[in-house]
Amino acid sequence: MKIIYQGQSVETDAKTVAEFLAERSVDPANAIVEYSGEVYAPGSDLCALPLEDGATLDVFKLTAGG
């Protein structure tokens, strides 16, 4: 299937948002995820969230700093 990830069209075989993030070594415990307009806080359970063809997915990684 094809989705829009970080503004780029990508192909994936992932079935869920969690699987897709794991493919890209993104830890959802340290990221804010916006999936098709819905925002998920760090640590949200994304295992049951099905990835849909044509969906948009943006990830914002949290970093500490001062």
User: What pLDDT was estimated at residue 6?
Assistant: 96
User: What pLDDT was estimated at residue 41?
Assistant: 96
In the predicted structure, residue 62 carries a pLDDT above the cut 90: no
23-58 pLDDT, tens digit per residue, is 999 999 999 999 999 999 999 999 999 999 999 999
Count of residues for the chain?
Answer: 66
To the question of pTM greater than 0.95 for the whole model, the response is: no
Q: Which residues contact 38 (CB under 8 A, 6 or more apart)?
A: none
Angle at 47 between CA 23 and CA 55, to 5 degrees: 70
5-28 pLDDT, tens digit per residue, is 999 999 999 999 999 999 999 999
In the predicted structure, residue 66 carries a pLDDT above the cut 70: no
Strand partners, 39: 34
